Structure 1
Amino acid sequence: MTLTIKQNIPLKIKRLGINGEGIGFYKKTLVFVDGALKGEEVFCQITEVKRNYAQARLLKINKPSKFRVEPACPVYQACGGCQIMHLRYDKQLDFKTDLLSQALKKFQPQGYEDFEIRPTIGMADPTHYRAKLQFQVRKFKGKVVAGLYQQNSHRLIELRDCLVQDETTQAIINQISLLLTRYDVPIYDERKIAGVRTVMIRKADATDQVQIIFIASKPVNLDFVIRDLTTAFPQIETIAFNLNKSKTSEIYGDYTKILWGKDSIEEGVLDYRFSLSPRAFYQLNPKQTQILYGEAVKALDVNPDDHLIDAYCGVGTIGLAFAGKVASIRGMDIIPEAIEDAKANAARLGVTDSHYEAGLAEVIIPKWYQEGYRATSLIVDPPRTGIDDKLLETLLTFKPEKMVYVSCNVSTLARDLAQLVKAYEVKYIQSVDMFPHTARTEAVVKLVRR
């Protein structure tokens, strides 16, 4: 039977997909239903029909899952920032373990059936965990609002009390919206107006220090906003401006300037402190980062004779967890400010056996090998796009003895493992829930050269 748009059908949900959507079969056709849970019997309306599957909108739950809960967030359905808040938290953790199995089954790295996938490590309190906020700002009827775009749309959903956002950063963005309105600061409009388009706020868990970046499509006067903001929130240490004139979905442009305060804030993980400049990457869930980095240290299992490469090193945080445990540490990142932070962080910790360079890992690592450097261990924490193809080729050429792959995307992880298993044995995969109530998880993979 051919499904048609607006057709209403009954469906039994067999499992959850990688985006947290319910999946069922209707007359042998795969149907995806946002908001449905495994085991539920639902009534839904077809919204899109493709050659091999269909999308549907949930209309009614005829038989709910016993693990379904009422989301505490009033804008949960509209926002789209979280996908599985309607699933009981312990079952969210089971789902995230299953995510890894689904991805491995799709890409089928050799021997994947025998990989040890350890249960996902969750949080005791999975609320207000996001220490970094990145909200769009727009003006409606003379009032500036801040929030996230509704999924697959350009409709901005105002967020004033987000259940997963750190409460201090939420209070600050609420005040920023008021001040941008009060002082009539130009606000970006995709059609015609140049001005402030995005605000980034990050709070250090170890020190409570806060940094802010105003991203705008043209220079704007923020003097009064900065004055009132720093008076209201003394924990603010840095306010920066980033110019992004592009029409793309990229958040940042190339130009960043400190408008007020210090160049960086101080954060801590495990047993050491480090500096974070505004553009530098750091995990958005600092409490679970303690767990994640601890698992990475355990998985790499270094000795004093090891020489370590920290690819995609950012400000050096993961690599510096091995300070004093290895003979040398080297790292690279494409953001020059992050490399300067990494150098400063290593110097601050008294790590003299470290070296950091700005650039692409697939270019720098071969150069180091040509210069005579030999790594025995490597840790790689790439962006969601996974390891660059050229870097994969580089790793399979030079083959350090042991490797830890820290991933924030199960699909690109499984894809990359299909190549890495040519030279490495997967000892185990440990999932860590860095993003409660979303369909994302982080994973630490222990690899040893064959």
Structure 2
Amino acid sequence: MKPVQKNDRLLVHVEDLTHDGAGVAKVDGYPLFIQGALPGEDVRVHVLKTLKSYGFAKLLEIENASPHRVDAPCPVFDTCGGCQIQHLSYEGQKGFKQKMVRDAITRIGKLPDVPVHAVKGMEDPWRYRNKSQIPFGIQNGRTVAGFYESRSHNIADTDVCLIQTFEADAIMVGLKKSLLEMGIEPFEEQTHRGQLRHVVVRKARATGEIMVVLVTKKKKFPQAEQAIALIRSLVPDTVSIVQNVNPEKTNVIFGNETLVLWGKEVIEDRIGDVRFEISARSFYQINPVQTEVLYGQALEYAALTGEETVIDAYCGIGTISLFLAQQAKFVMGVEIVPQAIEDAKRNAELNGFTNTLFEAGPAEQVIPRWYKEGKKADVLVVDPPRKGCDEQLLRTILQQRPGRVVYVSCNPATLARDLRILEDGGYRTKEVQPVDMFPQTTHCEAVAWLELA
């Protein structure tokens, strides 16, 4: 029998945080997950639901607050799903993220002796996002915009987001006030009615250039000139206004067709000394300040002398590749998305790099062919999606055996899993450096350095 039942009211001690920021308390070994509770706190809770091996409870009262508890400054923190840990001080956030990475490396990777360093954080952990994806909708006859509530597609209506740029706020508020006056109907996901689905605002930190993408259900957009005039008046630094057409019944933001309504097709940014052209759908790291820290760490672990050939699997638009090309003899990048490879080639040309090669295709197929052609890597860099490296790519690494592997990860659990596989295949993990790319959220990136034993 479970030690707690639904509707019980209890005083519990919070021991930990989950990967999505809920407090964890145990009653006779039975975990209760409590949104809003922090480690070290004694809290009164109302049990909402009990399953076989864990349950959920609502925070009623804090009897003994954590010294790291702060008042969340965001007006919609309690409903918006964008940030999970604004109520935790920034020092507390960094400590939580270091522990999260270390616990994954120890428990999943079975690597308790690998050093996991203190998190490299930000001086100012606010207003850092260079891209905002803002859904628009209708609630009670009025236009709403903001971000989705946690685990839902209900929009938490707001006029301010403290982790996006001031320009994104201005465009969000200005459009929200004027859409219906211009005759533009916000999209309703449930009925598939309306025109404007999302507004995506991108800002290049180095140049200050702004791109605004209007994601519409239909290509026909008679109010385009009015929208262009309004956006330019709201944010004069706008240099590109683009329409993306997505007619599908889907949660995916972008459709396949993109049209330039006004200004340039791309904006330009820099990471360190490397220039990048960014289009409406380019993948580009969200936090420009920490991207330089993250890539700098990857470069440090690559330990390049100018004589190495480097392979960058999952190279995207060539961001890490070109960072590495500054110090490598030759860099080869592979990425499954053909458009990203075209962007990578263009960015290499933009910077005058002649020591790079980019190819579209699955890394686990392209890299073995490169080896057969004599294109072998001294250093291999991987920066996979949240699901981690493809199993076949890991087998490829173990077959080709580059002397050094640098693993850039956005998911500590899959990083730990993949490190275990590489360790079992003859590599040794020297150290792991977490980097906080997403302050106020539970997400944490990390860079691991591996050497062939």
Provide TM-score, normalisation by structure 2: 0.94
* Residue type at the aligned position of 1:311: A
Q: Compared with structure 1, are the counterparts of its residues 103 and 390 closer, same or farther at alpha carbon in structure 2 (3 Å cutoff)?
A: same
What's the counterpart of residue 224 of structure 1? 226
Query: 1:360 and 1:187 mapped to 2: Cα distance?
Result: 38
Distance across 1 between alignment mates of 2:289 and 2:346: 24
Tell me the secondary structure at the aligned position of residue 93 of structure 2. helix
Aligned residues: 448
SS of 1:113's equivalent? coil
Q: Secondary structure at the match of 1:121?
A: coil
1:445 is matched with which residue? 448
User: In structure 2, what is the Cα distance between the partners aligned to 1:360 and 1:243?
Assistant: 28
Query: Cα distance 1:294–1:402, how it changes in 2: closer, same or farther (>3 A)?
Result: same
**Cα deviation, residue 117, structure 1:** 0.4
Partner of 1:332: 334
Distance 1:175 1:318 in 2: 36
Aligned-CA RMSD value: 1.7
> Which one-letter code corresponds to 1:166 in the other structure?
T
Post-superposition Cα deviations, 1:22-62, rounded to whole Å, max 9, x if no partner, equal 11111221111111111111111222222211111111111
Equivalents in 2 of 1:377, 1:133: separation in Å?
34
2 CA distance for matches of 1:88 and 1:166? Answer: 21
Counterpart in the other structure of 2:435: 432
**Which residue does the alignment assign to 1:213?**
213
Q: Which residue of 1 aligns with 2:138?
A: 139
Deviation at 1:378, TM superposition (A): 1.5
CA distance in structure 1 between the aligned counterparts of 2:280 and 2:304, rounded to whole angstroms:
31
Aligned to 2:370, the other structure's residue is in SS state helix
C-alpha distance in structure 1 between counterparts of 2:202 and 2:87, whole Å: 27
Shift of the 135–98 alpha-carbon distance from structure 1 to 2, 3 Å rule, reads: same
Q: Using the TM superposition, give the Cα deviation of residue 73 of structure 1 relative to its aligned residue in structure 2, in angstroms.
A: 1.3
CA deviations on 1:419-440 (whole Å, 9 max, x unpaired) are: 1222321111101111111111
Aligned to 1:241: 243
Question: Structure 1 330/33 Cα, relative in aligned 2: closer, same or farther at 3 Å?
Answer: same
Which deviations, in whole Å up to 9, do the C-alpha atoms of 1:155-200 show, x marking residues without a partner?
2101311111111222122223234232121322123214222221
Whether contact under 8 Å (2:170, 2:235) holds in the other structure is no
Pairing 1:380-419 to 2, within 5 Å after superposition: 380-419=382-421
Look up the match of 2:282.
Answer: 280
Q: CA deviation at 1:445?
A: 0.8
Q: For the residues of structure 2 that align with 1:47 and 1:182, how far apart are their CA atoms? A: 44
Question: What is residue 270 of structure 1 aligned with on the other side?
Answer: 272
Alpha-carbon shift at residue 115 of structure 1 (Å):
0.4
Q: Deviations over 1:389-444 (max 9, x none)?
A: 22222222222211111111111211221212223211111011111111111111
Residues 331-350 of structure 1, C-alpha deviation per residue, up to 9 Å, x if partnerless?
12233332222111111221
Residue 198 of structure 1: aligned partner: 198
SS of corresponding position for 2:101:
helix
Partner of 1:37: 38
* CA separation of 1:346 and 1:408: change in aligned 2, threshold 3 A: same
CA distance in 2, matches of 1:267, 1:385: 28
2:131 partner amino acid: K
Indicate if the aligned counterparts of 1:304 and 1:326 stay in contact, CA closer than 8 A.
yes
Inter-CA distance 105–53: structure 2 relative to 1 (3 Å threshold): farther
User: Partner letter of residue 128 of structure 2?
Assistant: Y
Name 2:166's counterpart in structure 1.
167
Q: Any residues of structure 2 matched to 1:18-417 within 5 Å, and which?
A: 18-109=19-110, 112-192=111-191, 193-221=193-221, 222-417=224-419
TM-score, normalization by structure 1: 0.95
Residues 186 and 220 in structure 1, CA contact (< 8 A), matched pair in contact too: no
Cα 1:59–1:206, aligned 2, differ >3 Å: closer, same or farther?
same
CA distance in 1, matches of 2:262, 2:117: 45
Partners of 1:412 and 1:194 in 2: CA distance: 39
| Distance of aligned partners of 1:22 and 1:386 in 2 relative to their CA distance in 1, 3 Å threshold | same
Q: Distance in 1 between matches of 2:175 and 2:377?
A: 47
3-state DSSP class of the match of 1:118? coil
